[in-house]
């Protein structure tokens, strides 16, 4: 089976517009950014969260704190995977107690990463709310989880893959759908 | 490298620099968990570990047990004196019996060198050597390297002086193998009677006096003087040992200004190390203990957190 390019669903401009819109939605929903903190899920969620932080600071003060979450140790598929995922460091240098924690990830698919992220966050403190930002929601949930802020809904089939590229990691901003053939 | 492709952790002699790096990097993530209010991750839920200690231990045993709890593994601990060993059961039989109860990993400390190798070859469970006789104590070597790395940011080209009873020390052996693989220069000092006969095999320089060995050192590590060795006639008295080889601020004044002082514990204060040095600003002895838990969490994750490739 080889992966072939099927379509580009977001380009640099679309990603920028989506994140800017989400920044406004976060402010609207939380009535400012006073109690808001951002948490990027490794790996692609981190640069996306960082951009949201910048967009938020263009509109509101104070600057929103940004933490990094590694969910490896909370995965539910550890005992089923052949390749052991590398553990990276979680870096959340602030208290989550009573905060509105906005979790940022690139793609929402089965919901299992989000489930793991919620478990990890609750081990770090007791947030007032946990909200979820995803750049792409591709459907096919296996758990009762939904995103609060979605960059773009992209209907996909299970044998397709959604590939998010961000400048900070991949040198370019683009979301592609790849097809297994 | 993402995965540790081995069943057991028996010693650092057989481990590659790449493997050591993976363990130390994983341990960094684990230390972050120890700093949380809730020091627990669900990673090893449903995995079972046996701690089998045929020799006394406080630090290592507590450290392994906490690492298991922080990773959510289930564990049982058996001390040698209360086990069936005293009824004549062999080591192999003991562990095979526990294995059929569902144990997947055995942490063992044993007075016989090579015992953990023997066990590893005879059981399916992973074996982590927590000290075998005078052979190796790999998790201590790893935690020492982790602590140095944390303070200095590197191991390459650091000069490490290990002082004391090198001959009977499994800590020294693991550190000699491990640190040299990671690019450090290791020298040793101590009475000739407490030097191993085959020091050249380790590729390290030995000095008869401490002052020469610690000259320009980045790290000075004291080893515990095993008092029972005196009865064997290897040195005349504790007092004489302390006079000639005990670490004091004066004795190590030739070391670098930012030298790190280490000791694997338990310490004989006033014998191999003075309290002034052990409790002083350059001492990282308690940091070593903290690192121990993180390193052991990393090893448990790397050995148990995932499916074994067939």
pLDDT of B22 above 90:
yes
Q: How far is CA A54 from the centre of its chain?
A: 16
Q: Is B244 on the interface with A (CB under 8 A)?
A: no
Higher pLDDT, residue B94 or A166: A166
- Find chain B residues with C-beta within 8 A of A83's C-beta: 2-3, 306
Tell me the average pLDDT across A61-90: 85
What pLDDT is recorded for position A75? Answer: 86
Q: Cite the beta strand spans of chain B per DSSP E.
A: 48-53, 74-79, 105-110, 126-132, 159-163, 185-189, 205-207, 219-222, 260-262
Q: What is the pLDDT of residue B307?
A: 58
pTM to 2 decimals? 0.89
Residue in B38, B306, B307 closest to A123 by CB: B38
Percent of chain B with pLDDT over 70: 97
As a whole number of angstroms, the distance between CA B310 and CA B306 comes to 12
CB-closest option in B3, B36, B42 to A84 = B3
Give the dihedral sign, CA B82/B85/B89/B93.
positive
**pLDDT at residue B309, rounded to an integer:** 44
Confidence of residue B89 (pLDDT cuts 50, 70, 90): confident
Contact A84/B at CB under 8 A: yes
Question: Looking at residue B233, what is its pLDDT?
Answer: 82
How many residue pairs bridge chain A and chain B with CB atoms within 8 Å of each other?
60
Q: Which residues of B touch A68 (CB under 8 A)?
A: none
Chain A residues near residue B4 by CB distance under 8 angstroms: 84
Contact A89 B29 (CB under 8 A): yes
CA dihedral A137, A139, A145, A150 (to 10 degrees): 20
Q: What is the DSSP string of B191-234?
A: -GGGS-TTHHHHT-EEESSHHHHHTT-SEEEE----THHHHTTS
User: In this model, does residue B293 exceed pLDDT 90?
Assistant: yes
Where do the H-state alpha helices sit in B123-203? Answer: 138-152, 170-181, 199-202
Q: For position A116, what pLDDT does the model report?
A: 95
Q: How confident is the prediction for chain B on average, in pLDDT?
A: 92
Q: What percent of chain A has pLDDT over 70?
A: 98
Please state whether the peptide bond connecting residue B266 to the residue before it is cis, i.e. omega within 30 degrees of 0.
yes
Strands, sheet with A3-10, edge to edge from the N-terminal-most edge strand? A3-10, A174-180, A160-165
pLDDT of residue A81: 65
A163/A168 Cα distance (integer angstroms): 15
* Cβ–Cβ contact B302 with A under 8 A: yes
User: Among A81, A91, A123, whose Cβ lies nearest the Cβ of B306?
Assistant: A81
Averaged pLDDT of chain A: 93
| Tokens describing residue A129 | 């709310």
Q: Does A81 touch chain B (CB under 8 A)?
A: yes
Task: Give the distance from residue A96's alpha carbon to the nearest chain B alpha carbon, in angstroms.
Answer: 12
Residue with tokens 């449903």: B46
Binary contact (B29, A87; C-beta < 8 A): yes
Lowest mean pLDDT segment, chosen from A80-84, B8-12, B176-180, B280-284: A80-84
CB contact (8 A) between residue A123 and residue B305: no
Determine the distance in angstroms separating the CA of B43 from the nearest CA of chain A, rounded to an integer: 5
Q: Region B65-90: what's the mean pLDDT?
A: 86
Average pLDDT rounded to a whole number, residues A41-69: 95
Q: What mean pLDDT is predicted for residues B108-120?
A: 94
Least confident of A96-105, B8-17, B20-29, B223-232: B223-232
Using the beta-carbon criterion (under 8 Å), do B301 and A87 form an inter-chain contact? yes
Q: Which pLDDT tens digit goes with each residue over A11-26?
A: 999 999 999 999 999 9
pLDDT in tens, B118-163: 999 999 999 999 999 999 999 999 999 999 999 999 999 999 999 9
Chain B nearest-CA distance from A54, in A, is 27
A136 band by pLDDT with thresholds 50, 70 and 90? very high
Examine the pLDDT at A82 and tell me if it is beyond 70. no
Chain B neighbors of A91, CB-CB under 8 A: 32
């Amino acid at each position: 089976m080889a992966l072939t390019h099927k379509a580009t669903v977001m380009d640099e401009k679309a990603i920028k517009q989506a994140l800017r819109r989400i920044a406004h939605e976060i402010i609207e929903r939380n009535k400012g950014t006073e109690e808001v903190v951002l948490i990027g899920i490794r790996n692609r969620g981190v640069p996306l969260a960082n951009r949201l932080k910048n967009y938020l600071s263009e509109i509101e003060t104070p600057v929103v704190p940004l933490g990094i979450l590694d969910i490896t140790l909370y995965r539910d598929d550890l005992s089923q995977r052949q390749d052991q995922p590398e553990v990276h460091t979680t870096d959340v240098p602030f208290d989550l107690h009573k905060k509105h924690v906005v979790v940022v990830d690139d793609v929402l698919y089965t919901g299992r990463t989000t489930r793991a992220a919620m478990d990890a966050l609750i081990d770090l403190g007791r947030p007032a709310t946990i909200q979820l930002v995803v750049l792409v929601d591709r459907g096919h949930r296996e758990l009762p989880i939904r995103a609060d802020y979605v960059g773009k809904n992209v209907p996909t089939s299970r044998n397709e893959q959604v590939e998010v590229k961000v400048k900070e990691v991949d040198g370019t901003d683009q979301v592609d759908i790849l097809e297994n053939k | 490298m993402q995965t540790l492709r081995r069943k057991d952790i028996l010693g650092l002699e057989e481990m590659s620099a790449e493997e050591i790096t993976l363990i130390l990097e994983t341990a960094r993530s684990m230390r972050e968990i120890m700093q949380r209010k809730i020091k627990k991750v669900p990673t090893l839920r449903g995995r079972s570990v046996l701690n089998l200690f045929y020799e006394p231990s406080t630090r290592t045993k507590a450290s392994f047990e906490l690492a298991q709890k922080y990773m959510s593994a289930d564990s049982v601990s058996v001390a040698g004196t209360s086990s069936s060993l005293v009824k004549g059961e062999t080591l192999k039989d003991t562990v095979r019996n526990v294995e059929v109860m569902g144990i997947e990993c055995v942490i063992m400390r044993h007075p016989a060198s090579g015992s953990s190798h023997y066990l590893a070859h005879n059981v399916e469970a992973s074996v982590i050597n927590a000290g075998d006789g005078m052979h190796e104590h790999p998790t201590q070597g790893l935690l020492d390297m982790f602590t140095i790395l944390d303070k200095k940011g590197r191991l390459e080209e650091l000069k490490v002086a290990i002082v004391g009873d090198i001959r009977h020390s499994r800590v020294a052996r693991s550190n000699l193998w491990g640190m040299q693989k990671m690019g450090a220069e290791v020298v040793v000092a101590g009475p000739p009677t407490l030097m191993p006969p085959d020091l050249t095999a380790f590729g390290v320089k030995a000095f008869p006096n401490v002052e020469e060995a610690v000259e320009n050192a980045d790290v000075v590590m004291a080893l515990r003087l095993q008092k029972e060795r005196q009865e064997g006639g290897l040195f005349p008295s504790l007092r004489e040992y302390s006079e000639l080889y005990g670490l004091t601020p004066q004795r190590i004044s030739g070391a670098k200004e930012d030298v790190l002082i280490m000791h694997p514990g338990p310490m004989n204060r006033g014998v191999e190390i003075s309290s002034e040095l052990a409790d002083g600003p350059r001492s990282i002895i308690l940091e070593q203990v903290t690192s121990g838990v993180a390193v052991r969490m990393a090893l448990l994750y790397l050995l148990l957190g995932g499916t074994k490739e067939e």
